[in-house]
Structure 1
């Protein structure tokens, strides 16, 4: 048997796991819910997206990891999307960063700015 570290023992339950549990309980009571959860698709992926993904898999350039900051083309596309969607100007070189997931970025953000003992 192993013992979890104190750090792990202090972690609260994963929020989305708790929400899923509550949704299941409500559904079992016969209540129909509108799920605005974590963004899991509830409709099939459009065929043109599947075909584009297949073509991308054939390109050898896609068989390796990008740089840790993401390709400049991707970051420029992000900056353009923000401009189109929110009329916000971003510098793709210094203000856009590719992450492995939004929760990953949100969880690590405080580590970049908050030191032990800092209080608000």
Structure 2
């Protein structure tokens, strides 16, 4: 199924037409690989330079709703990817380092910009 999502108030967040099932399958495969291969890492810089994580970033704007959905289900280190893709960083200073609060900040940002997941 092809989906076009557009935030008319903020065209910076307009998305191209994407085959969602194909995109989602690729995302889920890369996310699983990333989790399996970095689960024992404790240094964020090592976690985010993993090739699967970098490929997810390379998927661009269409993957943002999938990242937000994943964050909502179980907070993880998607913040670097979200910032790299969107150019935004809605995490409040006092929430830095708190995975739960950082996820909430990103989820609120996503809702404010019309993302649906």
- With the length of structure 2 as denominator, give the TM-score of the two structures: 0.24
Higher helix share: 2
1 or 2 for the larger relative contact order (CA 8 Å, sep ≥6)? 2
Give 1 or 2 for the bigger CA radius of gyration.
1
- With the length of structure 1 as denominator, give the TM-score of the two structures: 0.24
